[in-house]
Amino acid sequence: MGRRLLTLIAALFLVSAPAAAAQPAVAIVKATPSALTVRITPSRPGRLYRVTYRDGKHQFTWENLAPDASGRVVLTDDKHLRPEQRLQCESRLSAGDPVVFDDWLKGPVLAKRRAPFGVPVSTFGGPGYLVPGVSELKRDDYGNFWLYLHHPPHALLKYDRNLVYQFALLMPDRVIAFDTDAEGNLYVLHPDNWISKHSPLGGNLAAWDLPMGRGEGEFISASGMVIDRAGGFLYLADEQLSRVQRFSLDLELRPIPHIPWGWIGREDLAYTRAGKYDPDHMYYQLDRPRQLALDGAGHLYVSCEHYISKFDLATGRQLPFGKHAVLGWGGSFTDSPFSQSAALDGHWQRQWLAGVDGLGNIYVGDRDNDFVIFPRLQVFAPDGTLLQCLDVEDEVKDRNGRPVYVRAVAGIAVEGARVWLVDAAGRIYAGPPAGGIAGGGRLFLGPGAAGRQFDLTQVQEENLSVEVQPERVIHRSEGRVLGFLSAEQGTGNCEREGVTLLEAGERSMWLPSRIGEPFRVRLYDENGNEIPVSDYFVEFEERPGLFGTQYDYFRVTNRSGKAWRNVRFVAEANR
């Protein structure tokens, strides 16, 4: 009897004990290139799930998923995807190339030795349009585009003629100038007077240290570069010696005929009084030259401190802009660059020489201007006549009616009369084939879209897995609060004398959180003490717009009444 009773009790226990929880499974319900609808079964209301995709080449993980009553949930590149796993795949040119990816350059860099200059990488949500800033664009003779990001991470991104992303070259510091030769090789002018050369595939080909000095072929402060692809020459400016010299593409000096310096400019004639140009005594004289540009018709344009000069490459002679010797202050502009005149259309205070198109039209962007609210891009005819004055408030729309936000532009790409530029939203705008900057062109790419998007219709169900999360995953990021400054390169390095500073009443730049879901921000002073919330105001960019994707950016306004130094932020996802 005792044995039977024990057997019966055991049987009753087995019947009444709860069954082991079934392992959830995931099935695809609907797939589009950018969204995947799946059903998780079994699922329970109020429980969170994690779905992972692995195919041997890619891996994505969606977290904090809360399926509906039927178990359905949509997987997209949004607040559920882990920040380091944006839906972009590596863009190797061949299967043998190394796989290198990261998230805003914070993640691992694999299987690639870091060279002293130019690290070719394939981005995975990496150095794309992650923060607003001036970007420079150039086009080589094969139709490829090179985009330089004038903000950290400093990178040169290459796209093919259809603006399909190829790779990025990460730079150790900001880039002063870059251009390509007739073979599609890239030349980069770096701070501290050195030049690197890279192949069309991003490989390191050569590097030159420019000799220091004031003699022929020597430099004190190299400040600009352009390549004459037809002639096979490279022109280099020196802002301290106030001259431009000509070299071969192997950096051998090739002086301009009839001009012993190799180009024009003398240190003892430099740094003239702002806004003054006397054509009777100042022909050929350059004042702190920086950007250089060619028009394809044998003319070199040199951007000086407050004016632009034009020269004939065949003779070295200076050429006028219509009836004026130079374009700008002391030539076609009167008064002073530090007066209200700098706000007039067709004027500037300090300028970017963004480029010259095939018709000889000159594109000039504001670099610093104390008298305008919005930086402008202005277009001048070869005789110096103003053709256009554009800023972010001008109504320029693409062929689909989307606005193009034109702002101060550092560099344009041209093919004949056609122009490409980077707008204030981080998108590349291809102007209409008829030329110039007008409506009806096409917009390409956008914030966070440097790499090719991973097509979710290619996902195989057997490569998906799901698990129950024990609790909500809380992502966070931290860093310095960075403010805008009017730096020489027009980007603002967010520091003054090496100390990040935000004055009372100033607003910070938009900061990328890379958290990927709604978040809160807390600020700490340089001693680690939390700053009271009454001392600042936080703005969030919560939808696609000028500066990025949903929940990706925030900025703060200093309302404390005193300057902030080395203020740090902690951005943490909401629970």
pLDDT at 361: 96
pLDDT at 491: 35
What's the pTM?
A: 0.63
pLDDT at 260: 55
What is the separation of C-alpha 123 from the centre of its chain, rounded to a whole number of angstroms?
13
pLDDT at 546: 30
Rounded CA separation 196/206 (Å): 6
Rounded CA separation 79/516 (Å): 4
- C-alpha triplet 45, 46, 52: angle, nearest 5°: 90
Bridge partners (DSSP) of residue 411 are 136
Rounded CA separation 323/334 (Å): 14
Helix, strand, or coil (residue 342): helix
Quote the DSSP letter at residue 154.
P
* SS3 per-residue string spanning 475-531: CEEEEECCECCCCCCCCCCCCECCECEECCCCEECCEECCCCCCEEEEEECCCCCEC
Residue 445: which residues within 8 A CB-CB, separation 6 or more? 129, 163, 165, 426, 427, 428
Q: Nearest to residue 396, comparing CAs of 365, 439, 429? A: 439
Rounded CA separation 410/379 (Å): 13
Q: What are phi and psi of 10, to 5 degrees?
A: -60, -40
Rounded CA separation 415/422 (Å): 16
Residue 10: which residues within 8 A CB-CB, separation 6 or more? none
- How far the first Cα of the chain sits from its last, in Å, is 58
Are 398 and 429 in contact by the 8 Å Cβ rule? The answer is yes
Residue with token string 């909500």: 472
Q: What are phi and psi of 84, to 5 degrees?
A: -80, 0
Reply yes or no: is the peptide bond before residue 375 cis, omega within 30 of 0: no
- Residue 437, CA distances (Å) to 385, 388, 441 in order: 16, 9, 9
Residue with token string 């891996």: 59
Helix, strand, or coil (residue 63): strand
Residue 521: which residues within 8 A CB-CB, separation 6 or more? 538, 554, 556, 569, 570, 571
The pLDDT tens digits along the chain (575 residues) read 455 544 444 444 444 444 455 789 999 999 987 678 999 999 998 899 999 988 876 778 888 899 999 999 988 765 566 555 544 443 333 444 333 333 333 222 222 232 233 323 333 333 333 344 568 999 999 999 999 987 766 788 888 898 877 777 877 778 999 999 999 999 999 998 999 998 888 878 888 999 999 888 999 999 999 999 999 999 999 998 888 999 999 999 998 766 655 556 666 555 566 667 777 777 778 888 999 999 989 999 999 988 999 999 888 888 999 999 999 998 899 888 889 999 999 999 989 999 999 999 999 998 888 898 888 999 999 999 999 999 888 889 999 998 888 888 889 999 999 999 988 777 889 999 999 999 999 988 654 444 445 667 888 999 999 999 998 888 787 878 877 544 433 333 445 555 667 888 888 877 766 565 678 899 999 899 999 999 999 987 654 333 233 445 788 999 999 988 888 899 887 76
Residue 438: which residues within 8 A CB-CB, separation 6 or more? 396, 431, 432
Rounded CA separation 267/242 (Å): 6
Beta strands per DSSP E along 316-455: 318-319, 327-328, 350-356, 362-368, 377-380, 386-390, 413-415, 418-422, 428-430, 442-444
What is the separation of C-alpha 68 from the centre of its chain, rounded to a whole number of angstroms?
39
Are 477 and 515 in contact by the 8 Å Cβ rule? The answer is yes
* Domains delineated in the chain: 2-87+454-468 (2.60.40), 212-250+257-381 (2.120.10.30), 476-573 (no CATH)
